[in-house]
Amino acid sequence: MRLDKLFKVSFRADASNIIGSGHVIEIISLIRALRERIEFEPVFVTVENAFTMEKLRENGISSIICLPGGLQEEAEADLVVRALEDLGCEHLVVDLLHRSNDFYGYLHSNLKSTCVILDNNEHKEIPASVVVNFSITQDPDFYRKVDQHKTKYLIGPGYFWFDEVINKIKPVSVVGPKVERVFVNQGGSDPYGLTVKIIRALELGNFEQEFHVVLGGLLQDEHKFGLEYLRNSLGGNYTFYTDLPKIDLYHLMEKSDLAISAAGNTLYELAYLGVPTLVISHDHLHDQVAIAFEQKKAVSNVGVGTKLTDSQIASEFRRLINDAHARLTLSKNARNLFNSGSGTALVDELGRLYSR
């Protein structure tokens, strides 16, 4: 459905070498998909960051509100509302970490509509028009008890927001007896330098597979230096990639027999494509996500990377490459987490909301 006149919708997200790049990439993808449904001018609200500015420029998003870093919640919410009022923008989509209900409530009470996108294990009501929490740790039964007329809740992995280009990729249909290609990624920032640790572990095990290592755009300098030092001693079975277009990234995943991943957005994408995955988490909260996936027999969870030895990682990798039946089970169970409407439900809901 298309609107008769152009209007503004604002989007609040940040990227940094601590929180990674997933929130910004997720929102830019959502903007592209929403533009296929309705006409609007996106207004991006963010703490200025070189990575974010580059991605916004690449996607033709020119209306940007830059916030000072380090604002307290109350000051940030007030500044956002006033800035949007000046632009005549009454709609806001928020994709942030660690904000309180007071923060969301202020935004919701001062704007015509708000949509809050979450990925955490907290079960609570949020003051907003629409709330999305795609975390596998969420229990949909909790939200069946709340007033869906007051707030629309979209809960569970089936509501994970996938970039539209993933639909151009065929999910894994056959899990072969041998592992020849391995996809390796630790998110957009790899804050704990786990890519270096994983490669050290693979070298310890003298594995001969092809390792395709994807580095995020927010990798910290100290970890870049560590990787460069390590790369000088690696054989020809390692290939490194940076700043891959989404379609190339998904093709790389789809062609892989196995993945070694963190427990962020990339894990959901790998699961959707049915790639058997060994998960090494960044921290305790990420590990809870990995544990929830493992409980559904959809991944093999190794644990928190900073607490693992190189030999533990090598041992778990060896076990999985030698167990074709286990890899097949992981692939099937991962695919079963998602329904046929995955990737469209949020756009459908926002389309209805903005068409009223």
The two beta strands, 181-185 and 300-304, are: unpaired
- With beta carbons less than 8 A apart as the criterion, state whether 269 and 183 touch: no
What pLDDT shows up at residue 341? 56
Task: Tell me the pLDDT band of 18, cut-offs 50, 70 and 90.
Answer: confident
CATH fold of 7-160+340-354, please?
Answer: Rossmann fold (3.40.50)
Sequence-separated (6 or more) residues with CB below 8 Å from residue 43: 8, 9, 10, 11, 63, 64, 65, 84, 87, 89
Domains 7-160+340-354 and 166-335 share a fold: yes
Rounded mean pLDDT of the chain? 93
267-294 average pLDDT score: 96
Share of the chain above pLDDT 70, in %: 97
- With beta carbons less than 8 A apart as the criterion, state whether 66 and 46 touch: yes
Q: Is the pLDDT of residue 1 over 50?
A: no
What values do phi and psi take at 326, rounded to 5? -65, -40
Q: Is the pLDDT of residue 14 over 70?
A: yes
Sequence-separated (6 or more) residues with CB below 8 Å from residue 344: none
197-212 average pLDDT score: 97
Task: Tell me the pLDDT band of 4, cut-offs 50, 70 and 90.
Answer: very low
The residues spanned by each domain of the chain are: 7-160+340-354, 166-335
Alpha-carbon torsion angle 10, 11, 16, 20, nearest 10: -170
Q: Is the pLDDT of residue 294 over 70?
A: yes
Cβ neighbourhood burial of 216 (10 Å; 0-12, 13-18, 19+): buried
Lowest mean pLDDT segment, chosen from 194-203, 214-223, 268-277, 290-299: 214-223
What pLDDT shows up at residue 253? 97
- Please tell me whether the overall predicted TM-score, pTM, comes out greater than 0.75 for this model: yes
Task: Tell me the pLDDT band of 343, cut-offs 50, 70 and 90.
Answer: low
Q: Exposed e or buried b for every residue in 13-46, given b needs 16+ CB within 10 A?
A: bbbbbebbbbbbbbbbbbbbbbeebbebebbbbb
Tens of pLDDT, residue by residue over 227-250, are: 998 988 999 999 999 989 899 999
Q: Which CATH number fits domain 166-335: 3.40.50.2300, 3.20.20.70, 3.40.50.2000, 3.10.20.30?
A: 3.40.50.2000
